[in-house]
Structure 1
Amino acid sequence: MNIIFYRYNSVCEPDFIDAFKQMGVNVVEDDDGMKGNLDISTKIDRLGDLIAEYSPLFIFSINYFPFLSIVCDRLGILYMSETVDCPVFEIYHNSIKNKTNRTFLFDYGQYLSVKDYNPENIFYLPLGSPTERVSKLLGDESRYLYDVSFIGSLYSEKDPFTELKISEKSKDKLMSLMNEQVDKASFGMEWIEDNLDEESVKEIKATDSLMGSTEYVCDLDNFIVSNNYLSYHMAYMERIRMLNSLAENKDINGIHLFTRSNTKDLDKSIICHGGVKTLTEMPFVFRQSKINLNITMRSIQTGIPQRIWDIMACRGFVLTNYQPELEEYFEIGTHLETFTSIEEMNDKISYYLKNDSKRETISQNGYEEVCNKHSILMRVINMIKIVTSA
């Protein structure tokens, strides 16, 4: 059985390739997505040559690419994709209706927003843990080097909201909305979505070429404002607030941040290490931290981000903001811990730093749970079952 795996250098690709190979699938890698100098027509021609040579059961990609869907639809070949980001704007492209698609979305809120455009071929499937790769990499590593750590961007370098050329009145309205959203819930953007004003959206639309496009199955104007502008700024706001609040917690012997972002707005006591390599260095930080903090992007409405699955694969202790889907797969307080406010986050950090045995029991429980039920290999098996039974 051959498949063609379209690659664009996502860090998730190697784990999925390994999983397909464990299933006995011959994976033909199309790495044209890694070559920034290739135009779409060249990619299509070269993909066509691969299809003619290998006669694949399906084309696969991490995240959804409309041009792959269009090619597969014209040739009558299945196109399977798994989103690892949210939002993925491309899933709203008109090509999402193509009957050769087999599209898997990890965020249930995102799934609900698009499923009716192709109900037989769009599926909800949570992300998984890279348990086998991580176990081989870490071996028996068991040292603790950090009390509390966070790996991730602060989004100071990815914040389009700060560059918006709109009136101060509209910016103030949007800032107020973001602050209210953060105060009202620890996840999602429901308050913002319900209260966006038309004037602010109209001003942003005048600067954004995606808004108003006819290439999409629905009007994305409000969605783009919420997810492409406000969610990034909210991520920056929340991460700075949370990390700075930890700096005042006297029970913590060092807050360790691993990021390539500008850290100028952080408390000077926070220990900034720079970035780490996702596949080879990050797992050691997760294993060597007593508490691993997760702060989910607001654009992930209900789902479980990859960071949580990665931490648990490393037998790390997870403390995360609450997300509705967590309780579908884990028992809070048994497999991981959650918080719904900065105060609760600090209280739980203090508690678990003083209770090593409880913390380590939760870490072990979480690790066993993802190994037994939620590995990436298991997710790939599910996808292949769905594709081959169609």
Structure 2
Amino acid sequence: MKILYLLWECCGNSEMIQAMRVAGHDVAALQTSQDGLLSPEIADKVKKAAGENGCDIVYGFNYFPHVAEAAKDLGIGYYAWVYDNPCVQLYSYTVTYPTNHIFVFDSDTYLKFHSEGINTIDFLPMAADPDRVEQLCREARPGYEADISFVGSLYNERHDFYHRMIDKGLPDRTYGYIRGIIEAQKHIYGMDLSEHLLTDEILEDLHAALPLGPSAGSVITTRTLFSQYVIDRQVTVEERHHILTALGAVFGERYRVDLYTHDASAAFAGVTNHGPADQFREAPLIFNRSRIDLNISLRSIVNGIPLRCFEIMGAGGFLLTSYAGDMLRFFNDGEHFVSFESTDDMLGKCAYYLEHEDEREAIARAGLAAIRENHTYYHRVLEMFD
């Protein structure tokens, strides 16, 4: 099969292209960008490139409605593997096009669309490339060793939606209601409370302070926008800050606790902030050389396994992750990875596995073996095009 590959700056490109070629497919790349994929002009570029290369399908990470339009006009399949959650582009009427083959990694997202009768979206977990990481680790210089590491965003950019809304002002009752949802959500995994608890009256107050609404052609609701882009994001901000503060306080004097994040100015006592890590060249080394690799999922991910978890396990790292229901569909807690359901639970498990090296290393080895057996990009290519 001849595949037109939408090549833009995102994770997984080299791994996916190699897997496609190993599976016997021809790949022609269309170089673009995220902004380019969001532009209407991409439709003509896709049509031209697909025609010139005789392509049977179009493939790309995440979903872009203008690409779906082009594929429909050409009568060829558009395969989109979505690794962002939320992904606002999914809430487009174009997702119903019969030429679409869209894959999401959160079973909760899949079930939401499936319950609305949309059969062009399927569930497909993310993947890893342990062979590439193994070679990288062999060739790389020493460094990145740590006892506990966290690689990820703190989502504390200035003028984020939540603080823009708060700064504008909310009625006391509405502010208290929102804070109640946020505080409750910190203690509950596997359910998005705000989707169920944001009433029409509360939404009116939120919208008055922050006029957030769907763009042209989108069918996303105001409730979903405020839930996923405002409330869930703020829960993640506060949870990650709380966990990093606790890690520094409990382990900072005795152990090396490392943070890699875009905000190089973020400071937590007992935690060393190294600034951002290159996701392709540095992050795998961090995962491989840290004794404990922490994943704290973005709260708009209800059950899904974030790409970060696959990357950690695929690097031979020991994964300690916040609860994700889909993990239990493919892996065993305590055998391939370890989960936590609260900050105290996380601290206790960090302490235990820092003191029980043999158990920690056995879990890391089992996690890597499970990835090699069933969860590489090659496996996903076979599943996707089956």
Do they fold alike, i.e. is TM over 0.5?
yes
**Structure 1 equivalent of residue 96 of structure 2:** 97
Tell me if the contact between 2:293 and 2:318 (Cα under 8 Å) persists in the aligned partners.
yes
Tell me if the contact between 1:252 and 1:350 (Cα under 8 Å) persists in the aligned partners.
no
Instruction: Report the residue type matching 1:192 in the other structure.
Output: S
SS in 2 for 1:28: strand
Partners of 2:43 and 2:195 in 1: CA distance = 37
SS in 2 for 1:137: helix
Partners of 1:43 and 1:192 in 2: CA distance = 35
**Structure 2 equivalent of residue 388 of structure 1:** none
1:268-301 superposed Cα distances (whole Å, 9 cap, x missing partner): 2211111110000111111110000110000011
**Structure 2 equivalent of residue 304 of structure 1:** 305
1:81-125 superposed Cα distances (whole Å, 9 cap, x missing partner): 101111112112000110000111110000011124564432111
Verify: 1:327 aligned to 2:328, yes or no: yes
Partners of 1:202 and 1:213 in 2: CA distance = 18
Q: How does 1:168-183 map to 2 (within 5 A)?
A: 168-169=171-172, 170-183=174-187
Tell me if the contact between 2:148 and 2:293 (Cα under 8 Å) persists in the aligned partners.
yes
**Structure 2 equivalent of residue 279 of structure 1:** 280
Q: CA RMSD in A?
A: 2.3
CA deviation after TM superposition for structure 1 residue 340, in Å: 0.6
CA deviation after TM superposition for structure 1 residue 249, in Å: 1.7
Q: How does 1:47-66 map to 2 (within 5 A)?
A: 47-66=46-65
Verify: 1:77 aligned to 2:79, yes or no: no
CA deviation after TM superposition for structure 1 residue 174, in Å: 1.3
Instruction: Report the residue type matching 1:70 in the other structure.
Output: E
Partners of 2:382 and 2:107 in 1: CA distance = 20
SS in 1 for 2:276: coil
SS in 1 for 2:369: helix
**Structure 2 equivalent of residue 376 of structure 1:** 377
Partners of 2:13 and 2:210 in 1: CA distance = 30
Verify: 1:167 aligned to 2:166, yes or no: no
5+ residue gaps, structure 2, are none
Q: Which moved more, 1:281-290 or 1:5-14?
A: 5-14
SS in 2 for 1:247: helix
SS in 1 for 2:292: strand
5+ residue gaps, structure 1, are 386-390
Percent of aligned positions that are identical: 27
SS in 2 for 1:320: strand
**Structure 1 equivalent of residue 258 of structure 2:** 256
Partners of 2:270 and 2:57 in 1: CA distance = 51
Partners of 1:38 and 1:381 in 2: CA distance = 26
CA deviation after TM superposition for structure 1 residue 73, in Å: 1.2
1:131-183 superposed Cα distances (whole Å, 9 cap, x missing partner): 22212211388988211110011110173211123425233421221011113
SS in 2 for 1:267: coil
Partners of 1:194 and 1:323 in 2: CA distance = 19
TM-score by length of 1: 0.91
Tell me if the contact between 2:68 and 2:97 (Cα under 8 Å) persists in the aligned partners.
yes
Partners of 2:106 and 2:61 in 1: CA distance = 14
SS in 1 for 2:354: helix
1:16-60 superposed Cα distances (whole Å, 9 cap, x missing partner): 1221121222211111235x5798343222222112212211101
Tell me if the contact between 2:62 and 2:84 (Cα under 8 Å) persists in the aligned partners.
yes
Partners of 2:185 and 2:116 in 1: CA distance = 29
**Structure 2 equivalent of residue 123 of structure 1:** 122
Change (3 A) 1:39 1:284: closer
Tell me if the contact between 1:156 and 1:262 (Cα under 8 Å) persists in the aligned partners.
no
Tell me if the contact between 2:294 and 2:321 (Cα under 8 Å) persists in the aligned partners.
yes
Poorly superposed stretches of 4+, deviation over 4 Å: 36-39, 116-119, 140-144, 206-210
Instruction: Report the residue type matching 2:199 in the other structure.
Output: D
Partners of 2:194 and 2:36 in 1: CA distance = 38
Instruction: Report the residue type matching 1:329 in the other structure.
Output: F
Matched residue count: 380
Verify: 1:26 aligned to 2:40, yes or no: no
